[in-house]
Amino acid sequence: MEQRALWDEPAQGSSEEAPSSGSTGERTSRVRPGRELSLQQQAATVAPAVSASPPVLASIAVARPVRGEFTYSVPESLVSQLAPGQRVLVPFGRGTALGFYLGPAARPPGENVRLKPIQRVLEDSPSLPKDLIALLRFAAEHYRYPLGEVIRGSLPPGLSKPVDEKEAKPDVQQFAVALVNEVPPSLARAHAQSAALAYLLAVGGSAPLEEVSHAIPGARAHLKSLASKGLVRIEEKKLEAGVKEGLIQGRPDRLTPEQDAAGVTLREALDTGAFQPFLLHGVTGSGKTEVYLRAAEHALSLGKGSLILVPEIALTPQLVGRFRSRFGSEVAVLHSALKDRERLFHWQALRKGEVKIAVGVRSAVFAPVENLGLIVVDEEHDPSFKQDDSLRYQARDLAVVRGKQAGAVVVLGSATPALETLENVKKGRYRLLELKRRVDDRPMPTIEMVDLRQERPRDGMMTDEAPILSPPLLAAMEETLGRGQQVILFLNRRGHSTVLLCEVCGVSLKCTSCDVCMTHHRSQNRVVCHYCGLAMPVPDRCLECTGPMLKLGIGTERVEAEVLERIPTARVARLDRDSATSAEKLTEMLAAFARRELDVLVGTQMVAKGHDFPGVTLVCVVMADTSLAIPDFRAAERTFHLLTQVAGRAGRGKDPGRVLVQTYNPDAEPVKRVLAHDFDGFAQQELEWRKALAYPPFARMASIRLEGEHPEQTASVARHLGNIISRNMPPASVGVRLLGPAVAPIAKIRGKTRWQLLLKGPTHVALAPLLARVEAALVDVPSAVKVVIDVDPGAML
């Protein structure tokens, strides 16, 4: 059966053009006749129609948790003011609500319906550009979330409330501009000031004050002191298109032949001005960022905007810095730590076309970049592009949808593309651009395996664990550090020991409100639940039988302690969610490692992201097996991605890199393929398996998750929903399957019982009627049971 990409499927509902109303001159909006009739009638009051000439009708999304678009009448005084994308105030229920005017509407069926009028238009120029309206409509339908809430969630605070735009005006943005090219020796003792100045220089000599203080706490005051010393100038900035601020930094003189070829193709694609999706599959360290930069440069030369999506800003300061130093103040950086006013400022600067490039995290897929020519999704395989609450969208998928709607070039970049993306390449939907070699012909790192089964102490009992740092690993570390080079140690588990087990009764210590083991955090001298945050003192005896407790399962904290014990001279830091408690700490730790003030970085998947540390020549995977056994059909893929990505941090400078992988499962498919540098082999094997079991990309999925106070009640709701689905199943030939209802892999979190149902089918269209049935049944579900529908779910836990 032909599989269709997400964006191939028509959005549900009709896509016919609304009849021209002749009043707004816009005919772009779609109406969905009848589909939400009962809701439309909520906004209408029944009365005899009196007016002679047909009234002008508007389709409005109301920022309330209700489905569908509502029809309102347009008072004559407002007719000339109305433009799609505007925020308006409308009567709703007994009060008023913020609404978004989406376009003219057809008269809803029903002769005697008198519609309520729009009360007020809140802004002159629309907050929402036209292409975003289409994207938000798609997101609401695809991920089954109320459109008004989708729109409100996409807007910066300030615009998401029913206030006039005039009241929502942001402050002028202050920029710090460096007046020197390097940190002068006179600042040697003023550590904080020199750090602020160093940051400024690193990002091209100019940056908004907000951004510097985001990276370096207290930087605002330090920059002002620097200004009083004449080293920095503080400017109030009006961002203007076409102005290049700061020094053009780090632009390589020559592209590699592969970069050049990819660049030529992208330039041609940009010149056509039509939608074209690409996968940029480049090995780690092949210089993908430079390809993005050149494409954005070309888009800019055509007067077009670019949108660059990255997994997590704090983890990718280098990428942000490269964009900032290339394009100066023409870049809006959108991250979660922005203050409300700043977010509003960036939104409006982009909306007005004053800033043409946006770099941001997944929510930036909704950024109002004007005249969008290019969308880049860096590290497109990264799970963080999927949002896991409220609107459960996949930003990479929406980026492709947006590109199609806007007629933009879309580049999905990764060293380890998602299988979904690879399949789209195979099907000819995406064009493939490859960078098979590292820049400057640097070699890929060598990857060696350390079999932990062999490293276990022979004379001990069978249960004895292998050493955390095996002799070969320790030797490699000492040798690397001896040469003055740096080491990354990767283990994807936080804490000191991850399991506390009674030696006598074998019972492990579990959280009282979650179905998971407590992790021992020695630095806090506590055991902590990683799901609900519950923490308590470490019990020295089993709570069941008072037997002595064994501490098993290593976490990053224990690895760090072990390194300090075995190599006392090494300067070691740990990078995980316990140590990087703020974006500032994170940035600072990465910067210190980059400045080579640290020798060893121990960390979770945070160390595996696109970092570019030329001093790192040795990467050690402390245990490759941790993510293999997770009950998720993507477990093997995730493991393979993580190992490949972390291995890719080695040997990016002039010295070649080496990777050591400790494992108990050398024969596990992802481990074996990583050791063999065999991306294609892994992908092929895994795709065959997915096909045989009908998992994505060979099927579409939706999960229905339940969470309830009472185990019995939750189970019975799950079974009830299961019955509804079973009764409405299309014929078997359609290929839709229901898995469950079943207790979720983690049966309880925060005291709530969890169940899930999984739907698989050939297309989203095949699943939609069943999901609609489930939604309709939710009105009868007791409020103690929370039900969530997740289309294209990310994690299965």
Ligand X SMILES: Nc1ncnc2c1ncn2[C@@H]1O[C@H](COP(=O)(O)OP(=O)(O)OP(=O)(O)O)[C@@H](O)[C@H]1O
The binding site for Zn ion (CB under 5 A) comprises 511, 513-514, 529, 531-532, 534
Closest contact distance (angstroms) between CB of 714 and Zn ion is 17
Residue 384 binding result from Zn ion, ligand X, none, given CB thresholds of 5 to 8 Å by partner type = none
Annotated binding residue at 620? no
Task: Report the sign of the C-alpha dihedral through residues 667, 672, 676, 679, in that order.
Answer: positive
Nearest to residue 744, comparing CAs of 667, 583, 632? 632
**Phi, psi at residue 220, to the nearest 5°?**
-55, -50
Is residue 279 a contact residue for ligand X (CB under 6 A)? Answer: no
- Fill in the per-residue mask, 226 to 255: x = in contact with ligand X (CB under 6 A), - = not in contact: ------------------------x-x-xx
User: Helices marked H in 407-493 — which ranges?
Assistant: 419-426, 452-455, 471-482
The crossing angle, in degrees rounded to 10, of helices 219-228 and 191-202 is: 90
Pick between residue 641 and residue 754 the one whose CB is nearest to Zn ion. 754
Residue 532 binding result from ligand X, Zn ion, none, given CB thresholds of 5 to 8 Å by partner type = Zn ion
Pick between residue 472 and residue 539 the one whose CB is nearest to Zn ion. 539
Pick between residue 84 and residue 287 the one whose CB is nearest to ligand X. 287
Query: In this structure, are residues 127 and 159 in contact, taking their beta carbons and an 8 Å threshold?
Result: yes
Is residue 605 a contact residue for ligand X (CB under 6 A)? Answer: no
Closest contact distance (angstroms) between CB of 327 and ligand X is 16
Pick between residue 170 and residue 495 the one whose CB is nearest to Zn ion. 495
Q: Is 786 helix (H, G, I), strand (E, B) or coil?
A: strand
Is residue 415 a contact residue for ligand X (CB under 6 A)? Answer: yes
Binding-residue total with ligand X (CB under 6 A): 21
Interface segment toward ligand X; rule CB under 6 A; list 107-115, 287-295, 537-545, 572-580: 287-295
Identify how many contiguous H helices and E strands the chain contains and give both numbers: 22, 32
* E strand residue ranges, 163-322: 173-178, 206-208, 232-237, 276-282, 305-309
Residue 706 binding result from Zn ion, ligand X, none, given CB thresholds of 5 to 8 Å by partner type = none
Is residue 104 a contact residue for ligand X (CB under 6 A)? Answer: no
Q: Looking at 440, 464, 503, 688, which residue binds ligand X (CB under 6 A)?
A: 440
Residue 440 binding result from ligand X, Zn ion, none, given CB thresholds of 5 to 8 Å by partner type = ligand X
Q: Is 736 helix (H, G, I), strand (E, B) or coil?
A: coil
Annotated binding residue at 517? no
Interface segment toward ligand X; rule CB under 6 A; list 283-291, 390-398, 741-749, 787-795: 283-291
Q: What does DSSP say about strands 752-761 and 700-708: parallel, antiparallel, or unpaired?
A: antiparallel
- Fill in the per-residue mask, 500 to 539: x = in contact with ligand X (CB under 6 A), - = not in contact: ----------------------------------------
Q: Looking at 108, 158, 170, 282, which residue binds ligand X (CB under 6 A)?
A: 282
Residue 700, beta-bridge partner list: 761
742: its two tokens: 């079943």
Q: Looking at 648, 697, 722, 741, which residue binds ligand X (CB under 6 A)?
A: 648
To which H or E segment does residue 120 belong?
strand 120-121
Annotated binding residue at 542? yes
For the chain, the C-alpha Rg in angstroms (whole number) is 28
Pick between residue 234 and residue 534 the one whose CB is nearest to Zn ion. 534
Residue 514 binding result from Zn ion, ligand X, none, given CB thresholds of 5 to 8 Å by partner type = Zn ion
Quote the CA–CA distance of 286 and 288 in Å, as a whole number: 6
Is residue 486 a contact residue for ligand X (CB under 6 A)? Answer: no
Residue 648 binding result from ligand X, Zn ion, none, given CB thresholds of 5 to 8 Å by partner type = ligand X
Burial class (CB within 10 angstroms; exposed 0-12, middle 13-18, buried 19+) of 188 = exposed
Is residue 597 a contact residue for ligand X (CB under 6 A)? Answer: no
Annotated binding residue at 545? yes
Pick between residue 227 and residue 743 the one whose CB is nearest to Zn ion. 743
Residue 794, beta-bridge partner list: none
Is residue 285 a contact residue for ligand X (CB under 6 A)? Answer: yes
Quote the CA–CA distance of 599 and 477 in Å, as a whole number: 10
Residue 511 binding result from Zn ion, ligand X, none, given CB thresholds of 5 to 8 Å by partner type = Zn ion
Closest contact distance (angstroms) between CB of 598 and ligand X is 19
Interface segment toward ligand X; rule CB under 6 A; list 93-101, 160-168, 277-285, 464-472: 277-285
Give Cα separations from 116 to 39, 67, 98 (angstroms).
Answer: 13, 18, 14
Residue 282 binding result from ligand X, Zn ion, none, given CB thresholds of 5 to 8 Å by partner type = ligand X
User: Helices marked H in 90-235 — which ranges?
Assistant: 130-142, 147-154, 191-202, 209-215, 219-228
Closest contact distance (angstroms) between CB of 286 and ligand X is 4
Closest contact distance (angstroms) between CB of 438 and ligand X is 7
Is residue 289 a contact residue for ligand X (CB under 6 A)? Answer: yes
DSSP 529-569: -TTT--EEEPPSB-TTT-PBEEEEEE-HHHHHHHHHHH-TT
Q: What's the chain's length in residues?
A: 797
Annotated binding residue at 511? yes
Annotated binding residue at 529? yes
Quote the CA–CA distance of 775 and 653 in Å, as a whole number: 54
Buried b (16+ CB within 10 A) or exposed e, 680-701: eebbebbbeebeeeebbbbbbb
Is residue 31 a contact residue for ligand X (CB under 6 A)? Answer: no
Q: Looking at 62, 439, 573, 642, which residue binds ligand X (CB under 6 A)?
A: 439
786: its two tokens: 């929370």
Nearest to residue 724, comparing CAs of 753, 704, 698, 700? 704
Give Cα separations from 561 to 280, 299, 568, 600 (angstroms).
Answer: 40, 49, 10, 12
Residue 259 binding result from Zn ion, ligand X, none, given CB thresholds of 5 to 8 Å by partner type = ligand X
Q: Which residues bind ligand X (CB under 6 A)?
A: 250, 252, 254-256, 259, 282, 284-290, 415, 439-440, 610, 612, 648, 652
**Annotated binding-site residue numbers:** 502, 505, 511, 514, 529, 532, 542, 545
**Annotated binding-site residue numbers for Zn(2+):** 502, 505, 511, 514, 529, 532, 542, 545
